[in-house]
Structure 1
Amino acid sequence: MTHVRWGVLGASNFARQQMAPAIHAAKGAELAALATSSPEKADGFRAFAPELRVHEGYDALLEDGEIDAVYIPLPNHLHVEWAIKALEAGKHVLCEKPLGLKAADFDPVIDARDRTGLLCAEGFMIAHHPQMHRARELVIDGALGDLRHVTVAFSFFNDDPDNIRNQAGAGGGAMPDIGVYACGVVRLLTGAEPEAIPYAGIDWDNGVDTKVCVDADFGTFTYSGMVSTRMAPRQEVVLHGDKGVLRLTCPFNAGVYDQAELHLETTVGTRSVERFPNVNHYVLQVEAFCRSVSEGADYPCPLEFSRGTQRMIDMVYDAGKR
């Protein structure tokens, strides 16, 4: 496989702690450059990638002819602008979620992707984890019988006013930050789309949503979701059918919050547990991206899927106004 040479557009803590090390570790990838005007921030990246080239501006990195792909971890409200700029500069793009703050925001990015013929994707890393692949397989193969209800919960506590997750102008809020997972995972595992959102209860603080409770109708099954940035840490997905119950114990931060496991109970009295230790879904995401760039392999999570998740989030906000 030809190595894909990566640049990181901004020295965020998440990029330094998770995605840049994942690019550095991934097969078929080379972490080659970083754009930041803060030398002290670059030091944290050079600790594991000492040959890293550092550009003082984002445009300078996009003009670097030795970069094939960029990862964008900028604040949410800047994602669309810089994704399009990177595509027009001839770079493949992996952009941190959410790529857009409305479903319509995805349209110009999809147009730029199609016009340039380059790969552009949102960083929905859970789609690459074997826990998710196995859960989807169990649902599709009928291990649960007919699916009747899905419950999703994802929460953590962060009330720091200086954190961009708590800044309305930067696209902060619980739904943009983690609602992407709560809405995306049910679509990923079932292949279904919401038909209606009968209820959405939203708590607001200084213009950002801090707790959102959702009831959704998917036609053949119902959904209850809760996300919060003001509650104790919790994450769980439960899929409940007429012949079985499947519980994902750590669906979103595998290896950080806890170990990823699948617990399956069926009406015939069987119980099983499948564990997925030592799996880094960020590395798997980068490797899948590199295979698509270098070999033309289909990318598992295209922008059209991510747009569908944002459409569901838009429906939640609309329901919360009623």
Structure 2
Amino acid sequence: LNWLGVDVESLRPTHINKLHLTTQSGKSTYANLPLGGFGISRYTLDNYLYQLLLNSGVTVFQESVTDVQFDEDLFTVKTTNNMTFTAKQVIGAYGKRSALDIKLDRPFIKKKAPFLGVKAHYKGGFPDDIVALHNFKGGYCGVSKVEDDKINICYLADYETFKEYKNIESYQQNVLMKNKVLKDILQRSELLFEAPITISQLSFGAKQAVTNHVLMVGDAAGLIHPLCGNGMAMAFHGAKIVSETLIAYLNRDIKSRAELEKKYTKIWNKTFNSRLKTGSILSSLLQREILTDFLINVITKMPWLLKQIIKRTHGKPLLGND
């Protein structure tokens, strides 16, 4: 980010270097995070990047894309306000799940997704330097601090478990708070949102990095699992890959669209596939209480194992010229 001229420190992020992992039964362990990270909200970071774009002379259209068509080596993009754009290349950076996925006939969108995501900011006491992962029946909850002393609490829940309860508050009281550490955090924290934000139909199944010639990035290319490290960092890394590959194509260093798509897919898979698969395996383990307790017991006795898990899910430091 510094290489791009992004001054993250001006946004007053927290600096995170420890992981705290707990189970519903009370098992607990800590680990250092060698690469570290910073805590900042998507809203603050997105707005900062938006202002950077405006200051650089970029025109931003506040539109929702409804359709993308490709014909005779040219894209046509349509929006909700009947605007039409043409472009030599389109990048899909629209997140986890969109009506565009239906338009593009992506296979994953046809499958029933079993997970629900819930997120909110809170006011309360929590260490600045820790990211916590608290397990509960049917899911797990991440807790960390972001800018302005706010606590970011988000959790992934199995929809079958969630639908047994009338609302989020009831679910949290009856399911999440069975984990005593999580119960203590929630009871000592005050909700800053009017209501938590929910995202349904979360699928961690495989996606394609290229669909109908659109180059996908971030969650649109493959849903970045909470256990794969810093999701925003992975999204930035993916954006760097697509930018560099696309520049090579526009400069004619890559000779054809077919070569562009093949190269981008190869680099994306090499960079992220292993981490996403490891995260998926860990997610399956954390949804089974007995296996989670066993895993915590093992890594408590063998700390090197947790270090290897962190290494396999967090990747390597990304430098500007990498």
Bigger-Rg structure (1/2): 2
| Interval of TM-score (by shorter of Structure 1 and Structure 2) | under 0.3
- TM-score scaled by structure 2? 0.25
- TM-score scaled by structure 1? 0.25
